Amino acid sequence: MYGDGVFRTIHVHDGKPRWWAAHMAKLAADAERLAIPMPSRMVWERDLGSLLSSTPADCVLKLVLTRGPGVRGYGPAGQSLPTRLLTASPWPAHIETVAARGAHLHLCDLRLSEQPRLAGIKHLNRLENVLAAMEWADPTIDEGLLLDGAGRVICGVSSNVFIYRNDALFTPRLDRCGVAGVARELLIGIAADLKLFVHETDIHLDELLEAEEVMLTNSLIKIWRVARLGGRTWNAPRVSDELRTLLNA
């Protein structure tokens, strides 16, 4: 009733969940920050085996962990008995199409509110994202770009943001708001292996528009390069093709 839980969205490929260990670690870290007991990995894998036995080999897996049943009111009463929900849905056909041509972005009017205690957590209260996603009906728009109240770039509606300039990557700080995704974390590690320095810093919209390349990441799309935001276009990839190959591997 209160969005009191955390979740993960995972690509199942050839019957296996990709980046499973990283998703389990992130789910556990987010649950800990909300003081929700995390079931063991063995429990999740038992559930997973039951679900995937009757799903397509390629699909989207969603894991949800809530605090569990409770009485009326905001304060949790007594010991939490967490609820686990696992669902599978068809693989989105548009992901590779957008990867090939580049993503078209909408600059959202909605501004993300700051709450450092929730920043970075993939919690269930995603009303800001719901309202932001309602801002466009144009089928050629693939994703929305979200800023905070100070005009800083934070993330996409369902993705993280990277920009490339001066032979380095820059990604927004997520200590005030936004979600720190698993693909973002993995890309930072891959970039370090390539000696491509990553700066986690404040990024304003004008800096993004001046970048040599803009990229989006999440666990389903891996990496999309951005081809258009308003009247600004980026015609060719700079580093996204190589990073996408490494991230897919």
pTM for the model stands at: 0.95
Q: Where are the domains of the chain?
A: 5-91, 96-248
Q: Can you tell me the mean pLDDT for 215-229?
A: 98
Of residues 110, 120, 131, the one with CA closest to residue 177: 120
Residue 200 pLDDT grade (very low, low, confident, very high; cuts 50, 70, 90): very high
Cα 163 to Cα 225: distance, rounded to the nearest angstrom:
10
Q: Are 67 and 36 in contact (CB under 8 A)?
A: yes
Tens-place pLDDT, residues 67-120 = 998 888 888 877 779 999 999 999 999 999 999 999 999 999 999 999 999 999
**pLDDT for the residue numbered 195:** 87
Share of the chain above pLDDT 70, in %: 100
For 215, residues 6+ apart whose C-beta sits below 8 A from its C-beta are 161, 162, 163, 164, 223, 224, 225, 226, 240, 243
Tens-place pLDDT, residues 138-194 = 999 999 999 999 999 999 999 999 999 999 999 999 999 999 999 999 999 999 888
Which class is domain 5-91? alpha beta
**pLDDT for the residue numbered 52:** 93
Helix or strand holding residue 17 (H, E)? strand 16-17
**CATH architecture for the domain at 96-248:** Alpha-Beta Barrel (3.20)
**pLDDT for the residue numbered 244:** 94
The whole-angstrom distance between residue 190's C-alpha and the CA centroid of its chain comes to 17
